[in-house]
Amino acid sequence: TAPGQQLRALFYALPPGESSFRTVEEVPDYVQKSIPFFIVFIGLEFAVSWVQKRKPSGRINDGISSLSLGILSRLPDVLFRSVDLISYIYIWNNYRLFELPWDSPWTWYLTLLGVDFAYYCFHRISHEVNILWAAHQVHHSSEDYNLFTALRQSVLQKYTSWIFNLPMALFIPPSVFAVHLQFNLLYQFWIHTEVITKLGPLEWILNTPSHHRVHHGRNPYCIDKNYGGTLIIWDRIFGTFEAEDAKVVYGLTHPVNSFDPIMLQLRPLAHIWNTFWATPGFCNKLSVIFKGPGWGPGKPRLGLPEEIPEITGKEVPFNPSVPGYLNCYAVVHSAVMVDLFIELGSVMMLSQATTLLRIAFIILSLTSFGLLMENRPTAGILEIIRCLVFVGLYRLGYIRSQFSSLNYACEV
């Protein structure tokens, strides 16, 4: 895809004539190709925020944490095709009732609505079912709200979301679905920002930064509101819409207080495990898994609204003190990891062993950065080991920058 097309894909602005394909194999990887635009828009947001408020749009530690979680969430896709497409194509090949034309604009627009409605349903259930919330909460764990937050995704969430798309596989071609699955995700990137206020009449139809700020808030009025992906009409229809009002305080009602990407993914599951065994009664144990994250014995399915912590306006984000040079160090090394990740996704015909080695090294690096940002005592030792492993793998040719001119700089 040309850069202009890729830019418009970010805003769901590629019309049917430019984004309809006969087969899934022809569908571009719009998400992977958007990574350079993510970087440009993050820089632009930083500049606009500085002009507007004389302060940056976020913090280095939180930004690196979000970036790490974004990379982590995409690593399984390097090894195998997404479970969304595998399951969808299976149903299409074996159980489809009829076949809508892949090149019809009507099919394109119907799929837009179908994918967005399926996302609304899945997103809402992910907030109302504890085991699904354990995966989705990763996206809400940032106490900042900026374009970095959009990258903060769960590794596990995609392994349950696929179920909600399957009804479309009975009649909508996989190639059309594959386009809209990506567009729906890409659209949600630019709405994670505070530098855009209101968008006038568009607020009635589209999900906007204002609507999505409410969704990310931990204020009592924000909880379980505005689930839409691209369109806000589903929230208006089903009674889950809330307009932005009091200043939104972001993050979880009970903050995780960690920048470690592995910890952020797994701690909620450990909490469910411990609560499951500590809760008496078989039915209550099942309720721990399948009712809301605020549920407890004797409470309604979604918990008690009065138990949501009140917002005082004096909330202080988790922000361990780290020397300035360490922040600079982490930023430079995170940039190297982004380079290696992009290169990993773009290189074909790597042996499975080399691919797994690269993935393992990226996971090691992201974990080390998280511990550095928390100023953990063991972080320095782990980082020295990581750097030695990096130089060794680089010398042996298992890791390479996509920019050959930077090979020596990477080693330094």
Do 114 and 188 sit in the same domain of this protein? yes
Do 183 and 294 sit in the same domain of this protein? no
Residues of the chain with pLDDT under 70: 1, 346-349
Whether residue 27 lies inside any domain: the answer is yes
pLDDT of residue 394: 85
Whether residue 315 lies inside any domain: the answer is no
Whether residue 411 lies inside any domain: the answer is no
Quick check: 283 and 141 in contact, CB under 8 A?
Answer: no
Do 298 and 366 sit in the same domain of this protein? no
Question: CA-CA distance, 201 to 203, in Å (whole number)?
Answer: 5
Whether residue 378 lies inside any domain: the answer is yes
Do 269 and 156 sit in the same domain of this protein? no
Question: Residue 219: which domain range?
Answer: 3-238
pLDDT of residue 348: 63
Place of tokens 């892949």: 102
Domain count, the chain: 3
Return mean pLDDT, the chain. 93
Return the structure tokens found at 118. 């399926």
Question: CA-CA distance, 4 to 7, in Å (whole number)?
Answer: 5
Angle made by CA atoms 295, 130, 280, in degrees to the nearest 5: 55
pLDDT tens-digit readout, 171-189:
999 999 999 999 999 999 9
DSSP assignment of 312-368: -S----------HHHHHHHHHHHHHHHHHHHHHHH--S--HHHHHHHHHHHHHHHHH
pLDDT of residue 187: 97
Amino acid making up residue 307: E
Do 17 and 57 sit in the same domain of this protein? yes
Whether residue 256 lies inside any domain: the answer is no
Question: CA-CA distance, 385 to 364, in Å (whole number)?
Answer: 10
Do 23 and 147 sit in the same domain of this protein? yes
Whether residue 247 lies inside any domain: the answer is no
pLDDT of residue 270: 94
Whether residue 250 lies inside any domain: the answer is no
Q: What is the DSSP letter of 109?
A: H
Do 270 and 347 sit in the same domain of this protein? no
Do 219 and 346 sit in the same domain of this protein? no
Amino acid making up residue 20: S
Do 284 and 335 sit in the same domain of this protein? no
Which of 249, 281, 307 terminates a domain? The answer is 307
Question: Whole-model pTM?
Answer: 0.93
| Backbone Cα Rg of the chain | 22
Do 47 and 72 sit in the same domain of this protein? yes
Do 27 and 74 sit in the same domain of this protein? yes
Whether residue 407 lies inside any domain: the answer is no
Do 271 and 394 sit in the same domain of this protein? no
